Structures are given as C-alpha cells and as structure tokens.
C-alpha cells in the first residue's frame, strides 16, 4: 500500500495551504477530489514492477512538493499514453540506458522522459524588498 496508516498519521494536518505539502491532502483524502486522485496514484503505483517500486514509493510520499508533483506528472503522461498504446516504466535498453517510459503504439516505440519545470524560487520576489 502506498499510503499506509502510519504514514498518514505522521503527516501534518491541513493548515495554511501554501505550507502544507500536497501529499498530505492526497494521502489523507482531504476532499472527494483528493480521494479520487489518491486512487489514481495507487492504480499507477501498482502497475510498476515490484523491483522498481522503491524509488516511486519515496517520490510519491515526498513532503517536497516539487518531487511529488514531478512523479505525479510522469503518471499523468503514462495515463494519456496508455489510452493509445502500451506503457512500460524504466525499460532497460540494449545500450544500458533507462528512460522513464517506453511507449508502444501501432508497432512503433517511443522513449519518454517526463520533465517538470519549476520557476526559480526568486521569481516574483523583486517587489517584496
């Protein structure tokens, strides 16, 4: 199970929304939408081969929103791709490289690395001085 009772009990409660990690809302199913999103994450987590789950496990339980959101975005891309073909996580290629996703559609394959770009922390802070 991705979000067990012990993990949930140790999360901060909903407080000031900009200070509470997003995973706290999702793991605690704070709203109906958070509960649905939790089901989505657990569905994709369960599709990952057991020997690869540990790195996903830590990212999906991260209190750092950037790490959590980056992993969520990978699952969202996998969801879209799976509607049109087959998705495999972290395939090992003949050259030893391991892209995040291997997408097979109509007898063609594509390698996908999902990158989430965040604005620098300093952006927009010029007027705060």
Distances (CA, A) of 4 to 1, 28, 62: 6, 10, 14
52 domain-assigned:
yes
pLDDT digit string (tens) for the chain, length 129 residues: 899 999 999 988 766 566 789 999 999 998 999 999 999 999 999 999 898 899 899 999 999 999 999 999 999 999 999 999 999 888 888 898 888 898 999 999 898 888 888 877 665 555 444
What are the φ/ψ torsions at residue 111 (nearest 5 degrees)? -100, 135
Count how many domains the chain has.
Answer: 1
Distances (CA, A) of 97 to 45, 48, 77, 79, 94: 22, 18, 20, 23, 8
127 domain-assigned:
no
129 domain-assigned:
no
Which helix (DSSP H) or strand (DSSP E) does residue 88 occupy?
Answer: strand 86-89
Torsion of CA 36, 40, 46, 49, to 10 degrees: -160
What is the sign, positive or negative, of the torsion defined by CA atoms of 83, 55, 37, 73? negative
10 domain-assigned:
yes
126 domain-assigned:
no
Domain range for 60: 5-118
22 domain-assigned:
yes
123 domain-assigned:
no
47 domain-assigned:
yes
User: pTM above 0.85?
Assistant: no
């Amino acid at each position: 199970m991705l979000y067990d009772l012990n993990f949930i009990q140790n999360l901060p409660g909903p407080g000031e929304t900009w200070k509470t990690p997003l995973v706290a809302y999702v793991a605690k199913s704070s709203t109906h939408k958070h509960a649905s999103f939790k089901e989505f994450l657990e569905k994709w987590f369960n599709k990952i081969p057991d020997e690869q789950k540990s790195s996903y496990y830590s990212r999906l339980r991260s209190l750092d929103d950037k790490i959590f959101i980056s992993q969520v975005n990978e699952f969202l891309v996998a969801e879209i791709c799976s509607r049109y073909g087959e998705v495999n996580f972290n395939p090992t290629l003949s050259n030893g490289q391991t892209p995040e996703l291997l997408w097979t559609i109509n007898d063609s394959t594509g390698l996908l690395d999902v990158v989430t770009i965040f604005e620098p922390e300093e952006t927009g802070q010029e007027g705060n001085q």
